[in-house]
Protein backbone atom coordinates (compact mmCIF):
# COMPACT_ATOMS: atom_id res chain seq x y z
CA UNK A 1 0.00 0.00 0.00
CA UNK A 2 1.44 3.38 -1.04
CA UNK A 3 1.58 5.88 1.81
CA UNK A 4 -0.14 9.19 1.05
CA UNK A 5 2.27 11.31 3.08
CA UNK A 6 5.30 9.76 1.37
CA UNK A 7 3.74 10.34 -2.04
CA UNK A 8 3.36 14.01 -1.11
CA UNK A 9 7.08 14.13 -0.34
CA UNK A 10 7.83 12.65 -3.76
CA UNK A 11 5.65 15.29 -5.42
CA UNK A 12 7.47 17.99 -3.47
CA UNK A 13 10.81 16.58 -4.62
CA UNK A 14 9.66 16.80 -8.24
CA UNK A 15 8.74 20.47 -7.69
CA UNK A 16 11.70 21.61 -5.59
CA UNK A 17 14.50 19.56 -7.12
CA UNK A 18 16.49 18.55 -4.05
CA UNK A 19 15.86 16.66 -0.83
CA UNK A 20 17.36 19.60 1.08
CA UNK A 21 14.78 22.02 -0.32
CA UNK A 22 11.95 19.62 0.48
CA UNK A 23 13.26 19.28 4.03
CA UNK A 24 13.53 23.07 4.46
CA UNK A 25 10.04 23.68 3.06
CA UNK A 26 8.36 21.09 5.28
CA UNK A 27 10.51 21.60 8.40
CA UNK A 28 11.99 18.09 8.32
CA UNK A 29 15.59 16.96 8.38
CA UNK A 30 17.06 15.83 5.06
CA UNK A 31 17.70 12.38 6.54
CA UNK A 32 14.00 12.05 7.47
CA UNK A 33 12.91 12.92 3.94
CA UNK A 34 15.43 10.43 2.50
CA UNK A 35 14.20 7.68 4.82
CA UNK A 36 10.57 8.36 3.95
CA UNK A 37 11.31 8.27 0.22
CA UNK A 38 13.26 5.04 0.70
CA UNK A 39 10.23 3.48 2.38
CA UNK A 40 8.06 4.67 -0.50
CA UNK A 41 10.40 2.86 -2.91
CA UNK A 42 9.94 -0.31 -0.86
CA UNK A 43 6.16 0.13 -1.05
CA UNK A 44 6.31 0.74 -4.82
CA UNK A 45 8.62 -2.21 -5.45
CA UNK A 46 10.61 -0.30 -8.09
CA UNK A 47 13.38 2.36 -7.93
CA UNK A 48 11.85 5.84 -7.81
CA UNK A 49 15.12 7.79 -7.44
CA UNK A 50 18.60 7.55 -8.87
CA UNK A 51 21.82 9.16 -7.70
CA UNK A 52 23.37 11.76 -10.00
CA UNK A 53 26.52 13.12 -8.42
CA UNK A 54 25.52 14.44 -5.00
CA UNK A 55 21.88 14.81 -5.94
CA UNK A 56 19.02 12.49 -6.76
CA UNK A 57 16.56 12.61 -9.63
CA UNK A 58 13.35 10.80 -10.39
CA UNK A 59 13.44 7.64 -12.46
CA UNK A 60 10.80 7.05 -15.14
CA UNK A 61 8.83 5.10 -12.53
CA UNK A 62 9.22 8.02 -10.11
CA UNK A 63 7.88 10.47 -12.70
CA UNK A 64 4.96 8.12 -13.35
CA UNK A 65 4.13 7.90 -9.66
CA UNK A 66 4.31 11.71 -9.30
CA UNK A 67 1.68 12.13 -12.02
CA UNK A 68 -0.64 9.68 -10.28
CA UNK A 69 0.13 11.11 -6.84
CA UNK A 70 -0.83 14.62 -7.93
CA UNK A 71 -4.23 13.34 -9.01
CA UNK A 72 -4.64 11.34 -5.80
CA UNK A 73 -3.79 14.34 -3.63
CA UNK A 74 -6.32 16.46 -5.53
CA UNK A 75 -8.96 13.78 -4.96
CA UNK A 76 -8.19 13.85 -1.24
CA UNK A 77 -8.69 17.63 -1.27
CA UNK A 78 -12.05 17.15 -3.01
CA UNK A 79 -13.10 14.51 -0.50
CA UNK A 80 -12.23 16.80 2.41
CA UNK A 81 -14.13 19.66 0.77
CA UNK A 82 -17.17 17.45 0.25
CA UNK A 83 -17.12 16.33 3.88
CA UNK A 84 -16.82 19.94 5.05
CA UNK A 85 -19.86 20.82 2.93
CA UNK A 86 -21.99 18.39 4.95
CA UNK A 87 -21.59 20.58 8.04
CA UNK A 88 -24.11 23.31 8.71
CA UNK A 89 -21.48 25.72 10.02
CA UNK A 90 -17.95 26.81 9.15
CA UNK A 91 -15.49 26.01 11.93
CA UNK A 92 -11.87 24.97 12.36
CA UNK A 93 -8.72 26.72 11.21
CA UNK A 94 -7.62 28.34 7.96
CA UNK A 95 -4.08 29.48 7.12
CA UNK A 96 -3.68 32.44 4.77
CA UNK A 97 -0.52 33.74 3.11
CA UNK A 98 -0.50 37.29 1.82
CA UNK A 99 1.80 40.09 0.69
CA UNK A 100 2.34 43.41 2.44
CA UNK A 101 -0.08 45.77 0.72
CA UNK A 102 -2.89 43.20 0.66
CA UNK A 103 -2.32 42.56 4.36
CA UNK A 104 -2.80 46.28 5.00
CA UNK A 105 -5.62 47.08 2.59
CA UNK A 106 -7.74 43.92 2.34
CA UNK A 107 -7.11 41.56 5.23
CA UNK A 108 -8.50 43.69 8.11
CA UNK A 109 -11.89 43.91 6.39
CA UNK A 110 -11.87 40.18 5.66
CA UNK A 111 -11.01 39.31 9.26
CA UNK A 112 -13.77 41.56 10.58
CA UNK A 113 -16.40 40.10 8.27
CA UNK A 114 -15.37 36.49 8.90
CA UNK A 115 -15.40 37.00 12.67
CA UNK A 116 -19.01 38.23 12.48
CA UNK A 117 -20.21 35.51 10.14
CA UNK A 118 -18.20 32.60 11.55
CA UNK A 119 -17.08 33.28 15.14
CA UNK A 120 -15.92 29.68 15.66
CA UNK A 121 -13.46 29.84 12.76
CA UNK A 122 -9.82 30.66 13.53
CA UNK A 123 -7.80 32.44 10.83
CA UNK A 124 -4.00 32.42 10.80
CA UNK A 125 -2.26 35.02 8.66
CA UNK A 126 1.37 35.10 7.49
CA UNK A 127 3.05 37.70 5.31
CA UNK A 128 5.00 35.76 2.69
CA UNK A 129 6.89 36.97 -0.35
CA UNK A 130 4.61 36.16 -3.30
CA UNK A 131 7.43 34.43 -5.20
CA UNK A 132 7.56 31.69 -2.54
CA UNK A 133 3.89 31.53 -1.50
CA UNK A 134 2.75 29.16 -4.25
CA UNK A 135 5.20 26.43 -3.34
CA UNK A 136 4.18 26.80 0.32
CA UNK A 137 0.54 26.42 -0.72
CA UNK A 138 1.32 23.27 -2.70
CA UNK A 139 3.20 21.86 0.29
CA UNK A 140 0.13 22.32 2.48
CA UNK A 141 1.58 25.11 4.63
CA UNK A 142 -1.31 27.41 3.69
CA UNK A 143 -4.92 26.95 2.59
CA UNK A 144 -5.25 30.16 0.57
CA UNK A 145 -2.83 32.73 -0.74
CA UNK A 146 -3.33 36.30 -1.85
CA UNK A 147 -0.80 36.74 -4.63
CA UNK A 148 0.39 39.36 -7.08
CA UNK A 149 1.54 39.29 -10.69
CA UNK A 150 3.42 42.25 -12.14
CA UNK A 151 2.94 43.50 -15.72
CA UNK A 152 4.57 41.45 -18.44
CA UNK A 153 4.83 38.30 -16.33
CA UNK A 154 3.39 35.15 -17.84
CA UNK A 155 0.32 33.77 -16.11
CA UNK A 156 1.64 31.02 -13.83
CA UNK A 157 0.56 27.47 -14.67
CA UNK A 158 1.44 25.80 -11.39
CA UNK A 159 0.28 22.20 -11.19
CA UNK A 160 -2.34 21.58 -8.55
CA UNK A 161 -3.26 25.25 -7.99
CA UNK A 162 -6.65 26.88 -8.61
CA UNK A 163 -5.94 30.56 -9.29
CA UNK A 164 -8.56 33.30 -9.69
CA UNK A 165 -7.95 36.95 -10.47
CA UNK A 166 -9.31 39.38 -7.89
CA UNK A 167 -8.66 42.82 -9.41
CA UNK A 168 -6.21 44.93 -11.42
CA UNK A 169 -4.03 47.26 -9.36
CA UNK A 170 -2.77 50.25 -11.42
CA UNK A 171 0.96 51.06 -11.30
CA UNK A 172 1.99 54.73 -11.25
CA UNK A 173 5.13 56.79 -10.85
CA UNK A 174 5.36 58.41 -7.41
CA UNK A 175 7.53 61.51 -7.27
CA UNK A 176 8.11 64.59 -5.13
CA UNK A 177 8.02 68.16 -6.51
CA UNK A 178 11.81 68.28 -6.47
CA UNK A 179 11.97 65.93 -9.46
CA UNK A 180 8.93 67.24 -11.30
CA UNK A 181 9.53 70.96 -11.88
CA UNK A 182 6.71 72.75 -13.70
CA UNK A 183 4.98 69.37 -14.09
CA UNK A 184 6.93 68.79 -17.32
CA UNK A 185 7.73 65.12 -16.68
CA UNK A 186 4.94 62.92 -17.99
CA UNK A 187 6.54 59.77 -19.43
CA UNK A 188 8.85 57.14 -17.99
CA UNK A 189 11.72 58.33 -20.17
CA UNK A 190 11.39 61.82 -18.64
CA UNK A 191 12.76 60.37 -15.38
CA UNK A 192 15.91 58.83 -16.87
CA UNK A 193 18.14 61.36 -15.06
CA UNK A 194 16.47 60.91 -11.65
CA UNK A 195 17.67 58.52 -8.91
CA UNK A 196 15.43 55.47 -8.62
CA UNK A 197 14.01 53.68 -5.58
CA UNK A 198 13.07 50.06 -6.26
CA UNK A 199 12.63 46.65 -4.67
CA UNK A 200 15.76 44.44 -4.42
CA UNK A 201 17.10 42.59 -7.45
CA UNK A 202 15.38 39.31 -8.19
CA UNK A 203 11.95 40.50 -7.04
CA UNK A 204 9.19 40.50 -9.71
CA UNK A 205 8.49 44.19 -9.15
CA UNK A 206 12.16 45.07 -9.71
CA UNK A 207 12.36 42.91 -12.85
CA UNK A 208 9.29 44.61 -14.30
CA UNK A 209 10.41 48.14 -13.43
CA UNK A 210 13.84 47.65 -14.98
CA UNK A 211 12.31 46.09 -18.10
CA UNK A 212 9.90 49.02 -18.46
CA UNK A 213 12.71 51.56 -18.08
CA UNK A 214 14.86 49.78 -20.65
CA UNK A 215 11.92 49.72 -23.05
CA UNK A 216 11.73 53.49 -22.55
CA UNK A 217 15.39 53.77 -23.57
CA UNK A 218 17.36 54.03 -20.32
CA UNK A 219 18.85 52.02 -17.48
CA UNK A 220 17.45 53.19 -14.13
CA UNK A 221 20.07 54.51 -11.72
CA UNK A 222 18.93 52.67 -8.59
CA UNK A 223 20.13 54.43 -5.43
CA UNK A 224 17.85 52.86 -2.83
CA UNK A 225 16.38 49.37 -2.44
CA UNK A 226 13.76 47.96 -0.07
CA UNK A 227 11.20 45.14 -0.14
CA UNK A 228 8.93 47.36 1.97
CA UNK A 229 6.76 49.45 -0.38
CA UNK A 230 6.06 51.99 2.36
CA UNK A 231 9.81 52.60 2.61
CA UNK A 232 9.89 53.20 -1.15
CA UNK A 233 6.97 55.61 -0.82
CA UNK A 234 8.56 57.54 2.04
CA UNK A 235 11.90 57.89 0.28
CA UNK A 236 10.15 59.13 -2.86
CA UNK A 237 7.96 61.69 -1.13
CA UNK A 238 10.94 63.09 0.80
CA UNK A 239 12.64 63.79 -2.51
CA UNK A 240 15.32 61.10 -2.64
CA UNK A 241 14.24 59.71 -6.01
CA UNK A 242 11.38 58.33 -8.01
CA UNK A 243 9.61 54.99 -7.74
CA UNK A 244 6.82 52.92 -9.32
CA UNK A 245 4.10 51.81 -6.93
CA UNK A 246 0.76 50.00 -7.13
CA UNK A 247 -2.32 51.92 -5.99
CA UNK A 248 -3.07 49.39 -3.24
CA UNK A 249 -0.28 51.06 -1.24
CA UNK A 250 -2.50 54.08 -0.66
CA UNK A 251 -5.22 52.24 1.26
CA UNK A 252 -4.63 53.55 4.78
CA UNK A 253 -1.57 55.60 3.80
CA UNK A 254 -2.00 59.25 2.83
CA UNK A 255 0.10 60.15 -0.24
CA UNK A 256 2.26 63.26 0.15
CA UNK A 257 3.80 63.46 -3.32
CA UNK A 258 2.56 63.40 -6.90
CA UNK A 259 1.44 60.64 -9.23
CA UNK A 260 2.28 60.27 -12.90
CA UNK A 261 0.03 57.88 -14.81
CA UNK A 262 1.82 56.19 -17.70
CA UNK A 263 0.31 56.01 -21.17
CA UNK A 264 0.69 52.21 -21.20
CA UNK A 265 -1.50 51.95 -18.07
CA UNK A 266 0.40 49.06 -16.45
CA UNK A 267 -1.38 47.06 -13.75
CA UNK A 268 -0.37 44.56 -11.11
CA UNK A 269 -2.85 41.69 -10.95
CA UNK A 270 -3.98 40.54 -7.51
CA UNK A 271 -5.32 37.00 -7.25
CA UNK A 272 -6.34 34.26 -4.85
CA UNK A 273 -5.08 30.68 -5.08
CA UNK A 274 -5.97 27.43 -3.36
CA UNK A 275 -4.95 23.83 -4.00
CA UNK A 276 -6.85 22.18 -6.82
CA UNK A 277 -9.62 20.10 -5.30
CA UNK A 278 -10.03 22.43 -2.34
CA UNK A 279 -11.78 25.19 -4.30
CA UNK A 280 -15.22 23.88 -3.23
CA UNK A 281 -14.32 23.75 0.47
CA UNK A 282 -16.99 25.98 2.05
CA UNK A 283 -14.63 28.13 4.10
CA UNK A 284 -12.46 28.85 1.05
CA UNK A 285 -15.52 29.67 -1.06
CA UNK A 286 -16.63 32.06 1.69
CA UNK A 287 -13.18 33.66 1.98
CA UNK A 288 -12.97 34.23 -1.74
CA UNK A 289 -16.44 35.76 -1.85
CA UNK A 290 -15.63 38.12 1.01
CA UNK A 291 -12.35 39.09 -0.66
CA UNK A 292 -14.28 40.01 -3.81
CA UNK A 293 -16.68 42.12 -1.72
CA UNK A 294 -13.87 43.89 0.18
CA UNK A 295 -11.94 44.48 -3.07
CA UNK A 296 -15.01 45.97 -4.77
CA UNK A 297 -15.52 48.39 -1.87
CA UNK A 298 -11.91 49.59 -1.98
CA UNK A 299 -12.09 50.06 -5.77
CA UNK A 300 -14.97 52.49 -5.27
CA UNK A 301 -12.79 54.67 -3.02
CA UNK A 302 -9.39 54.27 -4.72
CA UNK A 303 -6.98 57.22 -4.97
**CATH tag, 90-303:** 3.40.190.290
Q: What is the pLDDT of residue 58?
A: 85
Pick 4-84's CATH classification: 1.10.10.10, 3.40.462.10, 3.40.190.10, 3.30.70.2190.
Answer: 1.10.10.10
pLDDT tens column, 221-259: 999 999 999 999 999 999 999 999 999 999 878 899 989
Span 58-65, average pLDDT: 84
Q: What is the pLDDT of residue 155?
A: 56
Q: What is the pLDDT of residue 159?
A: 72
> Higher-confidence residue: 131 or 17?
17
Classify the phi-psi angles of 34: left when phi > 0, otherwise alpha if psi is within -120 to 50, otherwise beta: alpha
Q: Delimit the CATH 3.40.190.290 region(s) of the chain.
A: 90-303
pLDDT tens column, 200-222: 998 889 999 999 999 999 999 99
Q: Quote the CA–CA distance of 118 and 90 in Å, as a whole number.
A: 6
pLDDT tens column, 31-56: 888 888 888 888 888 888 888 877 88
Q: What percent of the chain has pLDDT over 90?
A: 46
pLDDT value at 182 more than 60: no
**Total-model pTM:** 0.80
Q: What is the pLDDT of residue 299?
A: 61
Q: Delimit the CATH 1.10.10.10 region(s) of the chain.
A: 4-84
Amino acid sequence: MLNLHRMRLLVELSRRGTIGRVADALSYSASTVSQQLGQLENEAGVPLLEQVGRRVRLTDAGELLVRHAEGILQQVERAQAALAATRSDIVGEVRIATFQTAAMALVPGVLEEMSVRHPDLTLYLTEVQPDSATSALQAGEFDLILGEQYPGGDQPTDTGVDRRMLFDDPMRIYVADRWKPNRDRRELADFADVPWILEPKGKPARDWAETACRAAGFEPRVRFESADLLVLARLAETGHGVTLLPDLVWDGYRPQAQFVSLATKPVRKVYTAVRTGAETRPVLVELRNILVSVSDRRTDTAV
